[in-house]
């Protein structure tokens, strides 16, 4: 088991909704090193705007204060394209580029991805929220 976790959009949404899955995220935030890829911030910003939530700034501030933000650098970006194609080929699913960036980020820092996104279901080093 690792002590570092990369939180994806799914994990943050569950946390902010206060669900049982979100409780798992809360425990990780309080006890482990947690990271958020910058692309997750973009995904969440899009979701909040699309669903007309007016508390984005508050939740963004919480994310910044409670996890380390990892920017998309050239190494993560270059590896993400390869990961996307490899996962699609191996699992025959619609694994997206954002998911590949999140997974690439986790691999770069030797962390587990925390998610409930079914695209990650069969991938190693994923803490799947149930």
Number of domains the chain contains: 1
- C-alpha–C-alpha distance, residues 20 and 23, integer Å: 5
In a domain, 96, yes or no: no
Please tell me what DSSP assigns to residue 93.
S
pLDDT in tens, 56-92: 999 999 999 999 999 999 999 999 999 999 999 999 8
In a domain, 80, yes or no: no
Average pLDDT, integer, range 105-119? 97
- Rounded to two decimals, the pTM is 0.94
Provide the CATH number for the domain around residue 46.
3.40.50.1010
Enclosing domain of residue 30? 4-72+106-128
User: Residue 1 pLDDT more than 80?
Assistant: no
């Amino acid at each position: 088991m690792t002590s570092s976790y990369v939180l994806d959009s799914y994990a943050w949404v569950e946390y902010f909704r206060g669900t049982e899955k979100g409780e798992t995220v809360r425990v990780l935030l309080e006890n482990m090193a947690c990271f958020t890829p910058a692309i997750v911030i973009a995904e969440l910003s899009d979701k909040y705007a699309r669903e007309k939530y007016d508390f984005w700034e508050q939740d963004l501030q919480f994310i910044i204060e409670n996890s380390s933000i990892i920017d998309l650098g050239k190494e993560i970006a270059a590896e993400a394209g390869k990961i996307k194609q490899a996962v699609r080929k191996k699992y025959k699913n619609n694994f997206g580029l954002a998911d590949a960036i999140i997974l690439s980020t986790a691999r770069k820092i030797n962390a587990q991805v925390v998610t409930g996104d079914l695209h990650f279901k069969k991938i190693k080093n994923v803490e799947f929220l149930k």
